Amino acid sequence: MFIILNIMRDLLWSKTEKNVAKKAYDEAYEEECKVVVARVKDLMAHLPEPQAVWVIHDFLSQRRREMDKKYDYRYSVLPSVFARLIREGWLSFEKLEGLGEDKIQEIKSWIRVAEK
Amino acid sequence: MFIILNIMRDLLWSKTEKNVAKKAYDEAYEEECKVVVARVKDLMAHLPEPQAVWVIHDFLSQRRREMDKKYDYRYSVLPSVFARLIREGWLSFEKLEGLGEDKIQEIKSWIRVAEK
C-alpha cells in the first residue's frame, strides 16, 4: 500500500510542477557550485607552495561527495531535498511558486522534522 | 642473491648522495606541481559555468593518481624514477651532480631501456 501511494505521489507532479521543480533545483545547485568555485579561487590565491595544490583536491572531493549525496532529483524524495536546501539557504519558497499545496506542505513537514 | 645485492645497493647511497637525491626529487615534484597549479588556474579562468567546477576535480584526481604512482622515494627504485623524470623533462643530470657514477650509470640504463 505504501509503495502504491508512493508511485501515485510521483505521478501527481504535473508538467508545470516538474518545470518549476527542475528550475529551482538547478538554480540551488548552481548557487552551491558558485560557492565551491569561490572557495577554490580563494585557496588558489593563498597556496603556500605548489605542492599544496592537493588541498584543493581534498576540498573538492569532500564537497562533491556531499553534494552528490544531497542532490537527488527523484520525485519521491524531492520534497525532503527541497526542505534541506531551504534550511541551508540555497533555495526559498518563492522559487517554488507553482508547486501544488500538497508538495509545499510536504516540504514544510520535512523542515519541521529537521528542526525538532 | 638478487635480494642481497639489492639491499647492498640501498646501503651504498652515502649521506651526501641522499641529500642530492632528495633535493633533486623534491624540486622535480615541485616543478610538476607548478604545472598542475597553472592548469587549475587556467581551467578556473575559463569555467563555462559554476557546475563545471568538477572538471577541475577530475583533472586533479587524475594527476594525483599519476604522480603518487610516479614519485616513489625508495632508494631501490630511485634510479628508475629519476630516469623517468629526466625523460619527461622534470629533472636534469645537472641536478644530480654529487651522485656516484654507479647511480648515474643505472639512471642512464633505465633511460636506454625506456627509449628502446
Tell if the CB–CB gap between B57 and A53 is shorter than 8 Å. Answer: no
User: What pLDDT score does B100 carry?
Assistant: 95
List residues of chain B with CB under 8 Å from any CB of chain A.
29-30, 33-34, 36-37, 40-41, 44, 47, 49-51, 53-54, 56-57, 60-61, 64
Q: Does residue A85 carry a pLDDT above 70?
A: yes
* Residues on chain B touching A30 (C-beta within 8 angstroms): 49-51
Which grid coordinates belong to A5? 501511494
Of B29, B40, B54, nearest to A56 by CB-CB distance is B40
ipTM over 0.95: no
Burial class (CB in 10 A: 0-12, 13-18, 19+), A56: buried
With cut-offs at 50, 70 and 90, classify the pLDDT of residue A9: low
In the block, residue with C-alpha cell 514544510: A108
Residue B83, helix vs strand vs coil: helix
End-to-end CA distance of chain B: 28
The pLDDT value recorded for residue A116 is: 81
A34 contacts on B by Cβ (under 8 Å): 50
Contact B50 A33 (CB under 8 A): yes
Q: Where are the domains of chain B?
A: 2-115
> According to the model, what pLDDT value does residue B13 have?
92
Q: Per-residue pLDDT for A7 more than 50?
A: no
